[in-house]
Amino acid sequence: MYKFLGISLLFIGSVGLYAFTCSGGSGKNSTASTDGCINSGQNNGKQVQKEVPLSTDYQYTVSGLTVLYENTNTTDNDTLTYIWDLGDGTTVSEQVFEHTYETMGSYRTCLTIMDNDTRKTLSQKCKNIEILDPDLCDVTWEPVCGCDNQTYMNACFAENYHGVYYWLPGPCAEIDFSLNCDFSYEVNDLTVLFINTSVGNFDSYEWDFGDSKTSEQRNPRYTFRQPGIYNTCLTVSSAVTKKTATICHEVTLTASAHAPK
């Protein structure tokens, strides 16, 4: 209830800031002001007012980078100003509107209700809005690991509370699919144990001992017929990468024993 000079006063109207002037018996005028109020009551046969806090809220709909904002406050008063802060440096004073953000991310948007005369903030509501570019979510891929026993991990994503994954741009790893092919050997007279030291996972091995004989074993043991220098080659291939690699070494044999017949 508002009283001035012992007189109960009634304010009829919408929420806002009101000023009134009351003339006293001495002919002097006095001015007072008060916030608007609603919910009338009765006191001693005179109507009085109870002040009710102003409520602010809004709803939004996200579609890609565009958001539809709608002020759900039903108070219609010319003395009030609605100001939106959209979290990206943009301000708007409309009740219903669309706004398109330039980049995806999290934006804290606020709706503030102010009094036109005093510029006093009467109420404010803020919400965090997640914006995701739909073009970044259409992701398909094929396995690149095959059977090479390598594990690839993606450490560049985050998950928000709504179950949406954000894929952040970053440097692309350059994967070398070249085959590291090599071998060593141990000589015992005319018999040689060839040891495959190639690095990687291969599907086939082909040895050419340099005397028109071949083998497809991984680590073959082979007996030459006579001493000499043999250009022995190993060729490996991978079905996953569709690549082959070849390495050759000269093997020198100076056996003292006779070669088998």
**Mind listing the pLDDT tens digit of every residue in the chain (261 residues)?**
444 445 545 554 444 455 555 545 554 444 444 444 444 444 444 444 444 456 788 999 998 889 999 988 866 667 888 899 999 999 998 889 999 998 888 999 999 988 888 888 888 899 999 987 555 544 555 554 444 555 555 544 444 445 555 555 666 666 566 678 999 999 999 999 999 998 877 889 999 999 999 999 999 999 999 999 999 999 999 887 788 899 999 999 986 644 444
The Cα 236–Cα 201 span in angstroms is: 10
Pair of tokens at residue 63: 């579609």
pLDDT tens string 46-77? 444 444 456 788 999 998 889 999 988 866 66
What residue ranges define each of the domains in the chain, with the CATH number in brackets?
A: 2-50 (no CATH), 58-133 (2.60.40.10), 183-253 (2.60.40.10)
Report field, pTM of the whole predicted structure over 0.75: no
